[in-house]
């Protein structure tokens, strides 16, 4: 009797049959085809991939799948050869090296296949679901957790949250402050700052009409903070925002509707969009207009995860359903990546997630390498904790694609180990003579080269939308060495890592080499030695020339990569608190002096000012007052809201034809206008989308390689010079007993002598400035910053921020100049100022330098009725006067409530 197989069963098993047949063919060729045929197959397939890569039709399924399968064939082909024919035992040490390298390669291959699986068909173009009736809209609690961020950052975020288009009666905004918890305010070492912060933020909440929530302790860090807030709110949905993540006005409009459509939906995640570059991006900016480092994750990987219903919570810019969240006890705190872990548990319970590929928050990346490494270490450790403790591949409740997606997300963080082996592998042979890779010249041509190139092609195919060629290599290299100990530490003790907050909004006054660069200097030196030895081996050991050639080329690549990576270790100046954003669009400009109104093209905007190009038939003058009429609609927003600002032109650059100017203006903002400015600058999600797209153009592989090379060489030389200077300065000082100072133009001279005109080409703005700044100007300003200054607050008030100007301007405002003069007049800043009683009310530095007279025990109460914003001296008196043993809840002024830890409430 014939067996009937249902069609859907057949469809399910058919791919497996195809895969089995393909594997059979690969192994067949391995056994039966000689190196020539193999080479022809490899290079033919590679050529086909390169050609197909250029065809648009291959970007979309089903042809996209064909392309990916070609890449898969190349990888399997290589790895079957590598596994079956290149592993030769030649000795115990050789074996260890060979095995480690093989494992590193296996890791890469697994990751390649996981990446291809995840990216089979990224889910884009999901229709937006809007509520049928506004009365259906659920109550949304917006949580803005803070810890030690500046007031300015929090203020902007809160203001933007209040500007979101959503019925006000269904929108509750909460500042969840972990920097002013009871325990912090009780501990002597943090008491003063915690009280200070607590009062400031409470005041800010009251002022902006939002709630302030804090708790007793800092248990479980951010997760604990959010859970505490969850226990004190009862909205149906929760919008989680990092305090530096400024939401656009349409954030809830775009996300809430999905919850109405799908009762099992627990998460709508949106991209994190950063206006400032990470340190790596910042230092590699000479390469062109690179995509943000996280663009790859949010523009390609997350839509791909979304396809498999595996888009997970990224800690911010996400809306969650409270009821589902509480089923797993709120935000999980077992790992230090509480967000992903929470999503993992909810997915395991069968709930769904959605990713909306439109940036609707604008945030800040870490500004320094230390912060950057800190953040990545946390991510790596957290995801590996999840990998070890939750074992995604065999977790119950998840579908197989979800398991693979989570496994991929966690497994990725082992890249530090793999990258480390790639760095040292060729040197092991060239320096120590370990035979860890066995391949003849023919096999290199037949297997290795086609595979390596095909990986480049497939990576470009998958991620070119969000990442330019070779950037992944650099990003991974930069992190690898520093993640290595963290990864090993987690593997040894998964429960050890603790949550560390990533500092945001830091500034750097000087260009400096981060000490972390030393690792890469060592790698460069090792590779140079290995290359020299490769040259010697070439002549001395002709029988090993093929291996020498392969390892030498590999070493050269490592050297190149380390060099480029080193170039990324320069901490560039970052003195701006409000990053300029390069935008396009039109505005109306009115010149009251000339009684002339015209249209101008936007070049950049920030909270402090607007840059534009304008044609005026009259001569313009500096400090000229103007009125600016702007609209979101000019910047691709459909709402068409009008904004009117008064500004002063601070910089003026005549351009080309007569009457053309590039202007930098400073906005004159009062409180209302400040809110309006926040709305104008941060409220338009289309603007972020536009910026995303602007960065997605590749410069082409050869040009990128050259730029990387120059950048790397520059970085290496600079690093060497700086290192020499840093080492030699104390020696010279001790020898001569004189106050040695590194010549200010040392760096400039050495670089100019080395690169000549390339310096000019490479020196571009930090991505947000108005103009290209010449090297000399940078140097001059950098030198100015070298003089130690005091009196600068890490966070400035909006008014102070208004007064800030672009330091790259060659016509600084008088305010800036005056402020800068202060530190120069004070040779010994801190104590001297305090001792002389040179207190300047309102200046943080002076406040900090006031010696504490009498440390007091921690106050038991932290809320006072009628607290008013005022001078610090007054505020400090409050807790001393009226300590309260228990925590109470007191209504503040206006619409906002100040809520503190009160378990009884729930």
Catalytic site positions: 178, 339
Task: Decide if residue 92 touches another protein (CB under 8 A).
Answer: no
Task: Decide if residue 6 touches another protein (CB under 8 A).
Answer: no
Q: Which stretch binds another protein (CB under 8 A): 69-77, 470-478, 711-719, 734-742?
A: 69-77
Helical segments of 541-653, H only: 545-567
Residue the block writes with tokens 């993540």: 245
- Minimum Å gap between C-beta 34 and another protein is 5
How would you class 68 by CB atoms within 10 Å of its CB: exposed for 0-12, middle for 13-18, buried for 19 or more?
buried
Q: How many other C-beta atoms can be found within 10 angstroms of the C-beta atom of residue 852?
A: 9
Report the site for another protein in 526-545 (rule: CB under 8 A).
Answer: 543
Residue in 182, 162, 186 with CA at minimum distance from that of residue 172: 162
Task: Decide if residue 50 touches another protein (CB under 8 A).
Answer: no
- Minimum Å gap between C-beta 24 and another protein is 8
- Within 8 A by CB and 6+ apart from 340, the residues are 312, 313, 314, 382, 383, 386, 409
Backbone φ, ψ for residue 260 (5° rounding)? -70, -30
Q: Could you tell me the two tokens for 834?
A: 């305090």
Task: Decide if residue 738 touches another protein (CB under 8 A).
Answer: no
Question: Nearer to another protein by C-beta: 66 or 522?
Answer: 66
Task: Decide if residue 61 touches another protein (CB under 8 A).
Answer: yes
Q: Could you tell me the two tokens for 902?
A: 């009160």
How many angstroms separate the CA atoms of 71 and 58, rounded? 13
> Using an 8 Å Cβ cutoff, are 430 and 534 in contact?
yes
Residue of 83, 352, 698, 775 interacting with another protein (CB under 8 A) = 352
What CA–CA distances, in Å, run from 423 to 524, 527, 556? Answer: 10, 9, 10
Question: Nearer to another protein by C-beta: 257 or 277?
Answer: 257
Task: Decide if residue 12 touches another protein (CB under 8 A).
Answer: yes
Residue 155 C-beta-side C-alpha neighbours within 13 Å: 23
How many angstroms separate the CA atoms of 745 and 347, rounded? 58
- Within 8 A by CB and 6+ apart from 719, the residues are 513, 517, 521, 566, 569, 570
Task: Decide if residue 126 touches another protein (CB under 8 A).
Answer: yes
Task: Decide if residue 29 touches another protein (CB under 8 A).
Answer: yes
Task: Decide if residue 265 touches another protein (CB under 8 A).
Answer: yes
Backbone Cα Rg of the chain: 30
- Minimum Å gap between C-beta 345 and another protein is 18
- Minimum Å gap between C-beta 681 and another protein is 33
Residue of 1, 2, 6, 15 interacting with another protein (CB under 8 A) = 15
Task: Decide if residue 43 touches another protein (CB under 8 A).
Answer: no
Q: How many other C-beta atoms can be found within 10 angstroms of the C-beta atom of residue 655?
A: 12
How many angstroms separate the CA atoms of 443 and 422, rounded? 19
Task: Decide if residue 93 touches another protein (CB under 8 A).
Answer: no
Helical segments of 367-467, H only: 369-389, 400-411, 415-430, 441-443, 449-463
Q: Which stretch binds another protein (CB under 8 A): 61-69, 326-334, 390-398, 531-539?
A: 61-69
Task: Decide if residue 18 touches another protein (CB under 8 A).
Answer: yes
Task: Decide if residue 123 touches another protein (CB under 8 A).
Answer: yes
Task: Decide if residue 88 touches another protein (CB under 8 A).
Answer: yes
Tell me if residue 470 falls in helix, strand or coil. Answer: coil
Task: Decide if residue 817 touches another protein (CB under 8 A).
Answer: no
- Minimum Å gap between C-beta 67 and another protein is 9
Query: What is the DSSP track for 672-740?
Result: HHHHHHHHHHHS-HHHHHHHHHHTT----HHHHHHHHHHHHHHHHHHHHHHHHHHHHHHHHHHHH-S--
Q: How far is CA 475 from the centre of its chain?
A: 11
Task: Decide if residue 28 touches another protein (CB under 8 A).
Answer: yes
- Minimum Å gap between C-beta 434 and another protein is 17
Question: Nearer to another protein by C-beta: 438 or 648?
Answer: 438
Report the site for another protein in 750-769 (rule: CB under 8 A).
Answer: none
How many angstroms separate the CA atoms of 302 and 311, rounded? 6
Question: Nearer to another protein by C-beta: 11 or 886?
Answer: 11
Q: Could you tell me the two tokens for 574?
A: 């970052």
Question: Nearer to another protein by C-beta: 66 or 749?
Answer: 66
Residue 288 DSSP class? S
Q: Could you tell me the two tokens for 129?
A: 């679901």
Q: Which stretch binds another protein (CB under 8 A): 123-131, 578-586, 591-599, 633-641?
A: 123-131
Q: Which stretch binds another protein (CB under 8 A): 261-269, 556-564, 770-778, 874-882?
A: 261-269
Q: How many other C-beta atoms can be found within 10 angstroms of the C-beta atom of residue 325?
A: 24
Residue of 38, 227, 479, 766 interacting with another protein (CB under 8 A) = 38
Task: Decide if residue 94 touches another protein (CB under 8 A).
Answer: no
Total interface residues for another protein by CB under 8 A = 53
- Minimum Å gap between C-beta 270 and another protein is 16
Task: Decide if residue 263 touches another protein (CB under 8 A).
Answer: yes
How many angstroms separate the CA atoms of 309 and 846, rounded? 54
Q: Which stretch binds another protein (CB under 8 A): 98-106, 259-267, 553-561, 829-837?
A: 259-267
- Minimum Å gap between C-beta 69 and another protein is 5
Residue of 43, 53, 69, 839 interacting with another protein (CB under 8 A) = 69
Task: Decide if residue 656 touches another protein (CB under 8 A).
Answer: no
Tell me if residue 898 falls in helix, strand or coil. Answer: strand
- Minimum Å gap between C-beta 441 and another protein is 13
Question: Nearer to another protein by C-beta: 352 or 744?
Answer: 352
User: From start to end of 147-254, where are the E strands?
Assistant: 171-177, 211-213, 237-240, 246-247
- Minimum Å gap between C-beta 446 and another protein is 10
Q: How far is CA 596 from the centre of its chain?
A: 43
> Using an 8 Å Cβ cutoff, are 681 and 246 in contact?
no
Q: Pairing mode, if any, of strands 352-355 and 237-240?
A: unpaired
- Minimum Å gap between C-beta 15 and another protein is 5
Spell out, one character per residue from 423 to 452, where the chain touches another protein: x when CB under 8 A holds, - when not: -----------------x--x---------
Residue of 31, 135, 734, 757 interacting with another protein (CB under 8 A) = 31
Task: Decide if residue 14 touches another protein (CB under 8 A).
Answer: yes
Q: Which stretch binds another protein (CB under 8 A): 301-309, 383-391, 530-538, 590-598?
A: 301-309
Residue 503 DSSP class? P
How many angstroms separate the CA atoms of 105 and 89, rounded? 18
Report the site for another protein in 307-336 (rule: CB under 8 A).
Answer: 307, 309
Task: Decide if residue 66 touches another protein (CB under 8 A).
Answer: yes
- Minimum Å gap between C-beta 50 and another protein is 16
Residue in 517, 512, 662 with CA at minimum distance from that of residue 574: 512
Residues of this chain that bind another protein (CB under 8 A): 11-12, 14-15, 18-19, 21-22, 25, 28-35, 37-38, 41, 61-63, 65-66, 69-70, 73, 81, 84-85, 88, 120-121, 123, 125-127, 129, 258, 261-265, 306-307, 309, 352, 354, 440, 443, 543
């Amino acid at each position: 009797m014939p067996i009937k197989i249902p069609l859907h069963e057949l469809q399910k098993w058919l791919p497996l049959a195809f895969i089995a047949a393909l594997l059979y063919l690969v192994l067949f060729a391995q056994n039966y085809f000689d190196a020539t045929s193999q080479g022809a197959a490899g290079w033919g397939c590679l050529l086909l991939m390169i050609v197909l890569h250029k065809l648009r039709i291959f970007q979309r399924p089903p042809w996209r799948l064909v392309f990916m399968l070609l890449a898969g064939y190349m990888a399997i082909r290589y790895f079957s050869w590598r596994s079956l024919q290149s592993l030769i035992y030649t000795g115990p040490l050789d074996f260890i090296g060979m095995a480690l390298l093989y494992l590193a390669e296996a890791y890469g291959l697994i990751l390649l296949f996981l990446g291809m699986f995840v990216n089979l068909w990224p889910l884009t173009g999901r229709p937006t679901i809007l509520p049928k009736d506004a009365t259906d809209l659920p109550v949304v609690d917006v949580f803005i957790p803070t810890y030690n961020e500046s007031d300015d950052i929090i203020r902007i975020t809160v203001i933007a949250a209040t500007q979101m288009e959503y019925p006000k009666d269904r929108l509750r905004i909460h500042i969840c402050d972990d920097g002013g918890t009871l325990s912090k305010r009780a501990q002597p070492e943090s008491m003063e700052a915690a009280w200070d912060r607590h009062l400031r933020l409470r005041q800010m909440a009251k002022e902006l009409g939002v709630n302030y929530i804090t708790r007793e302790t800092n248990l479980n860090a951010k997760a604990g903070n959010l859970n505490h807030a969850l226990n004190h709110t009862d909205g149906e949905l929760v919008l989680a925002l990092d305090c530096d993540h400024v939401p656009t006005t349409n954030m809830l409009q775009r996300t809430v509707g999905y919850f109405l459509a799908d009762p099992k939906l627990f998460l709508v995640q949106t991209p994190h969009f950063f206006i400032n570059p990470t340190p790596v991006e910042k230092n590699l900016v000479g390469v062109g207009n690179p995509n943000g480092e996280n663009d790859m994750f949010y523009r390609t990987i997350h839509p791909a995860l979304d396809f498999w219903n595996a888009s997970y919570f990224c800690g911010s810019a996400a809306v969650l359903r409270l009821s589902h969240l509480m089923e797993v006890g709120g935000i999980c705190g077992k790992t230090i990546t509480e967000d992903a872990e929470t999503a993992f548990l909810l997915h395991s319970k069968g709930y769904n997630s959605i990713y909306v590929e439109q940036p609707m928050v604008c945030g800040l990346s870490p500004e320094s390498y230390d912060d950057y490494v800190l953040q990545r270490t946390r991510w790596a450790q957290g995801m590996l904790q999840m990998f070890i403790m939750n074992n995604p591949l065999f977790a119950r409740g998840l579908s197989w694609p979800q398991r693979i997606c989570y496994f991929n997300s966690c497994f990725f963080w082992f890249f530090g180990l793999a990258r480390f082996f790639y760095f040292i592998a060729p040197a092991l042979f060239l320096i120590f003579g370990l035979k860890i890779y066995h391949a003849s010249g023919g096999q290199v041509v037949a297997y290795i080269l086609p595979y390596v190139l095909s990986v480049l092609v497939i990576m470009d195919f998958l991620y070119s939308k969000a990442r330019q060629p070779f950037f992944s290599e650099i990003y991974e290299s930069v992190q690898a060495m520093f993640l290595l100990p963290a990864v090993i530490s987690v593997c040894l003790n998964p429960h050890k890592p603790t949550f560390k907050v990533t500092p945001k909004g830091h500034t750097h006054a000087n260009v400096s080499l981060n000490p972390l660069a030393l690792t890469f200097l060592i790698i460069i030196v090792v590779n140079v030695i290995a290359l020299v030895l490769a040259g010697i081996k070439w002549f001395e050991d002709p029988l090993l020339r093929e291996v020498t050639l392969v390892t030498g080329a590999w070493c050269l690549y490592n050297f190149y990569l380390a060099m480029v990576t080193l170039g990324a270790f320069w901490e560039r100046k970052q003195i701006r608190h409000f990053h300029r954003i390069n935008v396009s669009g039109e505005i109306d400009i009115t010149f009251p002096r000339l009684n002339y109104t015209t249209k101008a093209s936007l070049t950049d905007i920030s909270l402090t000012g607007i840059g534009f190009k304008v044609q005026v038939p009259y001569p313009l003058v500096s400090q000229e007052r103007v009125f600016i009429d702007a609209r979101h609609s000019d910047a691709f927003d459909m709402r068409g809201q009008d904004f009117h600002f008064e500004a002063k032109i601070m910089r003026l650059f005549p351009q080309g034809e007569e009457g053309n100017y590039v202007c930098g203006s400073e906005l004159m903002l009062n409180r209302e206008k400040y809110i309006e400015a926040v709305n104008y600058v941060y409220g338009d999600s289309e603007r972020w989308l536009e910026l995303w797209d602007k960065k997605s153009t590749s410069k082409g592989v050869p040009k990128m390689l050259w730029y990387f090379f120059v950048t790397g060489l520059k970085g290496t030389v600079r690093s060497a010079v700086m290192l020499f200077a840093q080492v030699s300065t104390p020696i010279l000082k001790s020898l001569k007993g004189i106050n040695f100072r590194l010549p200010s133009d040392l760096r400039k001279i050495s670089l100019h002598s080395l690169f000549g005109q390339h310096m000019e080409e490479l020196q571009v703005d930090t991505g947000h400035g108005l103009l290209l700044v010449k090297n000399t100007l940078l140097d001059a300003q950098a030198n100015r910053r070298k003089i130690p200054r005091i009196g600068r607050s890490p966070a400035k008030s909006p008014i102070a921020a208004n007064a800030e100007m672009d330091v790259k301007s060659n016509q600084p405002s008088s305010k800036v100049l005056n402020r800068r003069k202060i530190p120069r007049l004070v040779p010994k800043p801190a104590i001297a100022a305090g001792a002389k009683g040179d207190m300047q009310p309102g200046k943080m530095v002076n406040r900090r330098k006031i010696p504490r007279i009498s440390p007091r025990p921690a106050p038991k109460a932290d809320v006072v009725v009628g607290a008013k914003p005022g001078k610090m001296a007054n505020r400090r008196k409050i807790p001393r006067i009226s300590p309260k043993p228990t925590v109470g809840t007191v209504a503040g002024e206006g619409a906002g409530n100040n809520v503190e830890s009160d378990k009884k409430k729930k």
